Structure formats: structure tokens, C-alpha cells
Structure 1
Amino acid sequence: MITGYDHILFLLGVIFFLYRMEHIGIYVSLFAIGHSTTMLLGVYFNWAISSYFIDAIIGLSVVYKALDNIGAFQRWLGFQPNTKAATLIFGLFHGLGLATKVLEYDMSPDGLLPNLIAFNVGVEIGQLLALAAILIVMGFWRRTRSFWKLAYSANVAMMCAGFVLFGYQLVGLMVVP
């Protein structure tokens, strides 16, 4: 999904219950490392994968993070999966999704690497700006009584959005040749 809503939605889930800036920095950095790695390598080495398939996985990453936030894995599996590893792994998928979209454009190999790096820097700056806005809003929301009352519902809504993204991409996978 070239708009980036899926990336921002996943990052919202990642930072939803993070309060310390160093923790936010670690998780956002892990996502950015994964995202940047597969975006750059995917385009540079022409890893052509169905964008519908990858974007369906990205939709499921949002579902995963929402389930993680509401403690479903702890209840269902009896343990907490490694959230840092999950953030990095899903970052890899998110980057591959972007690479797949970028590959749909006919690009000249002349100056490809500098252009990819510049594009990636722009994407990361855009994500950081969106994340800053989210952190500001979340900071105010967390100080209200409604935060803990609505946190579960917000994550269920995020999970539903992930399922919608997944379903939309799955239909595209089945319908588009």
C-alpha cells in the first residue's frame, strides 16, 4: 500500500503502550532497519513478489500487534512472543511491500541506488513526522481517564482495520491476474 497508512497503523500499535522515549526509539529503529533493508534490497535486486500477497501479510501484522497489545498471546499461548523480533520481522515485510510497489514503476538503472536511498530517507522522515503527531496525541490521551477505558476498544478497532486491509488485499490477490 503506497499511501503508508498500513505502516503508520502498525507503528501506532507498536508504540501504543510504550511510554519511555528510549523504548519508542528502539522499536521504531528496529522497524526502520527492517523496512529500509528490504525496501532497498527488494528494489535493487528486483525481488518481484505479488503486492497483494505482501500487503495481506502487512494487514495481518496490524492484527498481530493489536492482539499482542490486548494480551491475547499471553492468554492463548501462555507466553509473550518477543516483541522486538516481531517488530523487526514485520518491518522486513513492510519494506518488501513498499519495494514491490516501487518496482511497478519503470525506473532507469542509472542512479538507482542514490535515488533509492533518497526515497527511503523521505519515507522514514514521513513516518517520523506521523509518529511525532501520534505521540503528541497519545501523550494527551494517556493523561485522561478515558485512556485505560478505551485502550482495549482502540486495539480492537486497530485489529479490525488490519483485517480489512488483509481482506482487501486477499480479494485483490484472487481477482487480479
Structure 2
Amino acid sequence: MTMRIIVRWLLALCATFIWQLAPASAHTRSESHSTWLVDGSSVHLTFSVSDLEARRLTPDGRPPNTPQLIAYLKPKLGASAQGKACALTGKPRPVAAVTGYRRVEFFYDCPSAEGVMLHDGAFFELVPTHVNLAQIQTAKGDFVEDVLTADSQTIDLSKAQGGEIEGAGFLTFVKMGLMHIFTGVDHMSFLLGLVLISRRFKDLIFVITGFTLGHSLTLALAVTGIIRPHAEFIDALVALTIALIGVENLAVQIQRPGLFALWTGGALLAMAGLRLLGIGLLPFTLLLGAGLFAANYLMVAGHVRDAGRLRLVVTLIFGLIHGFGFAADLLNESIPPAKLAELLVGFNLGVEIGQLTVVTTLVGVVALLRRVRLTLPRPIVVDVCASFLVLEGVYWFVSRSFSFA
């Protein structure tokens, strides 16, 4: 028995060591926003990007100052008409934006009002999976939208038909939701934690249902404008959910919920204390609430015989946090309510399809390995994977809370 426990923890330590050698990765979702007002031969562009995204432009990982940001964006953005470049009129200027975002205005004068094409090449060379959510408005009040990617950095206004630019629409947003799951290491990690904690298929249904309800509630709150989350807080909380699902797996496996609750709650309360001293980015009340929630949840989950229904409620809260990770970006823009609803519904549908695909694949792989008798004992698998999730989540949470990455 003693040897078995030693083997588990050796494997867990190996997983931790390997992860420390691997390159650190922050939230892999990379997005920016652009609003184009086209009035005849005049083009007014407002480009928005989060501080977290803008840090990619500096060697030390700190947000660039305004001249640095403008110097980077100026050659990457522009417009043309009938094959001729539109002239930049005046100097680009920064404008007010919500907390956690940077916004810059550009004005262009085109040689013609015909054959206008808009171009955005910012951040694609830094992150190949980067996307830009572009909204185009005309002086007549028409509104169209498109999604710019590394393979499609130009919008041809001559292809706008019936209020929709070619390639844009509901299915585009569904695809974005799918990519958000498949390219998001943090979301994939959280789903792995949900699969690990679910000993029965019934438990898995509970946790996935809770996560789905959380996304749906996020959708309603975002569309109605009841809640406008801070992007910099949400990214840190997403990392915290990964650490918590890993800690819960270990607490249940080792049957020492009190110890894990003490350490987890104590660490968060210590961070709250540092915030009172002016150290850190997250608000004191947020850290205090997170510490109390984490400690109580781990204690309750460790002593409830059937924690499936409890986890439905908790994963609903986690679903809210993960859902707001995307909603926070969208709410930085002035999008007509009908369009915002379409975008959020499509994206959320893509997220649900993506997460069901990931979970189904994981469960299928495990079932297949069991059939051919290639699986390791469940306790060893849980120890290794949960330790990995804790390390990953804690690293991201601390990095995002203290602006290390």
C-alpha cells in the first residue's frame, strides 16, 4: 500500500516537473475589435484591444504606452479604393475605453467612394489564431459585420449583400465558439477536470449541465447589459476555476478536504491581505469572496456522500465565469442588440458543441483503453492529472493577478 502511494506521488511530481519545463502559456484566445464608419470616400476606424493582448508588443510583457501602440498599428491598418491606398488624415489618437482596454482612432480619405476595401493585419503575425471582430457602419445607418483572421485580413465592401458581408453570419460565430474551445488550453483543462471528478456518467451529466446553464445565463445577462465584467478579472478567475477543479479532485481522492480547504482558502485570503497593501490587481473583496467560497466548497464537497447535485450548482458558477471571458470582449463594442444576441447565441452554441465533443472524446478514449486493458489505476491517473491542473491553474492565476504574464 505504501509503495502504491509513493508511485502515485512520484508520477504527480514528474508531471509537475515536465510542465515547469514547458513554455508558459496564458489564455490562448486572442481577439481585437474594429469599428469602421464608411461615409462615401471617408473612413473612420476605431480599433480596440485589451491590455492583456497589447502586452504581446513589448519585450518585457508590460502594456505598451500610447505612442508604441500607435506606431505598431499604423502600418497594419488601412483602407483602399479601386486599388489605391486611402490617405491617413491627421494623427491617430487614443480615445476613452472601458477598464482593461485600449482604443485608437484613425481617419482615412479615399480617392473614390467605389470599390472600398478595409484592411487589418494587426496581431496576426504574433498569434496566428488571432481574430478581429469587425463592425462596419455606413452613413445611411446600415450595419454589417465580419470576422478577420490571419487568412482573411481584408473586407471587400462591394461584396456586401442584404446587410451581410460575404462569409459573415451566424455560422461564423458558431465556428468561433468551436475554436474558442479547441484552441483554448484553459477551457480544455477545465473540461478535463470535470471528467476526472465524475466517477459515474450521471455525475458527468450533472457537471456538464451546470456548465451549460452558466453559459446560457451569461448570454442573457450580457445581452440585457445587467452585468459588465472586467476582462482582466475574468481571465484570472478562469485560471482559478482550473486550480479549484484540480484541488477538488485531489481532496476527494486523498479524502483530506479539510487540509485542502485550509491551504486553498488561506492562500486566497493571503492574496487579499497583499491587496490591502497595494500589491496585486484583483480587488480585495473579490479575493476575500473567492477564498471563502473555495474553502467552504471544498469542505462541503469532501463530506457530501453524493456531491453530483452540488457540483451542478458550482459548475454553473464556473460556467458564468468562463462565459464572461468572451462576453467581456464583446461588451466593449457598441453592437445593435439584435446583432449582439445573434453573435452570443451562435458563439455559445459553438462552445457547447465544442465542449460536448471534447468530453465525449475523452470518455470514449477511456472506454476504449479499458476495453483493451491499457488503463492505469484510476487513483494514479487522477493524482497525476489533478496535480497538473493545480500547477497550471495556480501559475496562470498568480501571473494574471500580479501582472507577471
Q: TM-score range by the shorter chain?
A: 0.7 to 0.9
Greater per-residue strand proportion: 2
Letter in 2 for 1:161: E
Contact 1:10 1:61 in 2 (8 A): yes
2:192: which partner in 1?
Answer: 12
Give yes or no for the alignment of 1:92 onto 2:272: no
Separation in 2, partners of 1:141, 1:156: 22
Aligned-pair Cα RMSD in Å: 2.7
Give yes or no for the alignment of 1:66 onto 2:249: no
Letter in 2 for 1:13: G
1:113: which partner in 2?
Answer: 341
Letter in 1 for 2:218: T
Separation in 2, partners of 1:98, 1:66: 23
Q: Please report how far the alpha carbon of residue 65 of structure 1 lies from its aligned counterpart in structure 2 after TM superposition.
A: 0.8
Structure 2 CA distance for partners of 1:9 and 1:112, relative to 1, 3 Å: same
Deviating 4+ runs (over 6 angstroms): none
Secondary structure, counterpart of 1:145 in structure 2: coil
Contact 1:63 1:163 in 2 (8 A): yes
How do residues 1-177 of structure 1 correspond to structure 2 at under 5 angstroms?
A: 1=27, 2=29, 3=180, 4-45=184-225, 47-71=227-251, 74-76=257-259, 77=261, 79-81=299-301, 82-104=310-332, 107-140=335-368, 144-172=375-403
Q: Which moved more, 1:118-127 or 1:97-106?
A: 97-106
Which structure has the larger Rg over C-alpha atoms? 2
Q: Please report how far the alpha carbon of residue 136 of structure 1 lies from its aligned counterpart in structure 2 after TM superposition.
A: 2.1
Separation in 2, partners of 1:100, 1:157: 28
Q: Please report how far the alpha carbon of residue 145 of structure 1 lies from its aligned counterpart in structure 2 after TM superposition.
A: 2.7
Q: Which moved more, 1:25-34 or 1:163-172?
A: 163-172
Letter in 2 for 1:37: L
Separation in 2, partners of 1:168, 1:13: 21
Q: Please report how far the alpha carbon of residue 171 of structure 1 lies from its aligned counterpart in structure 2 after TM superposition.
A: 4.2
Q: Please report how far the alpha carbon of residue 46 of structure 1 lies from its aligned counterpart in structure 2 after TM superposition.
A: 6.9
Letter in 1 for 2:192: L
Separation in 1, partners of 2:342, 2:354: 18
Separation in 1, partners of 2:385, 2:216: 28
Gaps of 5+ in 2: 1-26, 30-179, 262-297, 302-309
Q: Please report how far the alpha carbon of residue 58 of structure 1 lies from its aligned counterpart in structure 2 after TM superposition.
A: 1.2
Secondary structure, counterpart of 1:49 in structure 2: coil
Higher relative contact order (CA 8 A, sep 6+): 1
Separation in 2, partners of 1:140, 1:12: 17
Give the TM-score normalised by the residue count of structure 2.
0.38
Structure 2 CA distance for partners of 1:141 and 1:35, relative to 1, 3 Å: farther
Give the TM-score normalised by the residue count of structure 1.
0.81
Separation in 1, partners of 2:203, 2:219: 24
